[in-house]
């Protein structure tokens, strides 16, 4: 395990409270062995929200996503364990993580890699001034957002409609009802139920129905890339 000071030096960060960063790299398994060492889970909780917000702000201010659906899809591609784990690997964060002896296998876990990026983000936010925090976020996120935004991003509802309209004049509509727990939506195409979706809102339910219908359509007509 390497020194956290080495990492901070590489990130051009001078710690005001080094214990925050030590906590950010202390796994729960290590805390069980050394109870006096707080683990990173609360920092991870805060960091997750911070990265979600910062990604949303950057998309809102800098990316022409056309509509809320595209912006949501783009954000979901960035704010994910897989994307965060890749950033974590690039920064080699796993080598700074303290885990209990015999638990070293978790260092290769995608979720753990994402967790420590989130906890580090929270530590920097709490310890540094606004500019230093924003510089760090820019370093880890902005190029990834730009890269993802250059791909063709369409919300499933729009993509499904475009494909259907390319070969059919049959109408598409959504029938959505509220149940006790959530909303349920049916995508109707050619007067037949083509897909179902559930969600906490009408928009979520219809989006889920469109996603499933799009997947079915691509498989049915061999449109998978």
Give per-residue pLDDT as tens, 58-83: 999 988 777 787 788 888 888 888 89
C-alpha angle 126-120-16 in degrees, rounded to nearest 5: 45
Say what the pLDDT of residue 151 is: 63
pLDDT of residue 152: 44
Half-sphere exposure in the Cβ direction for 14 (13 Å, CA)? 0
Q: What is the pLDDT of residue 104?
A: 77
What CATH class is the domain 156-220? Answer: alpha beta
Q: Token digits for 203? A: 């928009």
Tokens of 151: 């791909």
Q: CA quadruple 157, 162, 164, 169: dihedral positive or negative?
A: positive
The answer to whether 159 is a known ligand-binding residue is no
Superfamily for domain range 4-149 = Ribonuclease III domain (1.10.1520.10)
Clarify whether 180 is annotated catalytic. no
Q: Domain spans of the chain?
A: 4-149, 156-220
CA-angle at 7, arms to 109 and 36, nearest 5°: 70
Active-site hit among 89, 118, 135, 186: 118
DSSP state of 142: I
On whether 44 is known to bind a ligand per the annotation, the reply is yes
pLDDT tens for each residue of 159-187: 899 899 988 889 999 999 999 889 999 99
96 vs 92: CA distance, rounded Å: 8
- Known active-site residue 118: yes
Q: In sequence order, what DSSP letters do the residues of 75-124 get, joined into one string?
A: HHHHSSHHHHHHHHHHHTGGGG-B--TT-GGGGG-HHHHHHHHHHHHHHH
Q: Is 118 annotated as a binding residue?
A: yes
Q: In what order do the strands lie in the sheet with 172-178?
A: 172-178, 183-189, 192-199
């Amino acid at each position: 395990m390497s020194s956290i000071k080495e990492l901070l030096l590489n990130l051009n960060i001078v710690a005001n409270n080094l214990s925050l960063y030590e906590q950010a790299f202390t796994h729960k398994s290590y805390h069980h062995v050394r109870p006096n060492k707080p683990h990173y889970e609360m920092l991870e909780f805060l960091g997750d929200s911070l990265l979600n917000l910062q990604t949303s702000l950057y998309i809102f201010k800098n990316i022409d996503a056309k509509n809320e659906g595209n912006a949501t899809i783009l954000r979901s591609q960035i704010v994910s364990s897989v994307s965060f784990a890749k950033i974590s690997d690039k920064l080699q964060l796993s080598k700074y993580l303290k885990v209990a002896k015999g638990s070293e296998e978790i260092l290769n876990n995608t979720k753990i890699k994402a967790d420590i990026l989130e906890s580090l983000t929270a530590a920097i936010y709490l310890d540094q001034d606004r500019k230093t925090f924003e510089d760090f976020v820019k370093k880890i996120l902005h190029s990834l957002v730009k890269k993802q935004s250059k791909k063709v991003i369409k919300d499933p509802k729009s993509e499904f409609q475009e494909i259907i309209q390319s070969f059919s004049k049959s109408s598409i509509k959504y029938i959505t009802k509220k149940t006790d727990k959530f909303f349920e939506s049916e995508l109707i195409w050619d007067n037949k139920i083509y897909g179902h979706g559930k969600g906490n809102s009408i928009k979520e339910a219809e989006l889920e129905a469109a996603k499933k219908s799009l997947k079915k359509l691509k498989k049915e007509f061999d449109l998978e890339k």
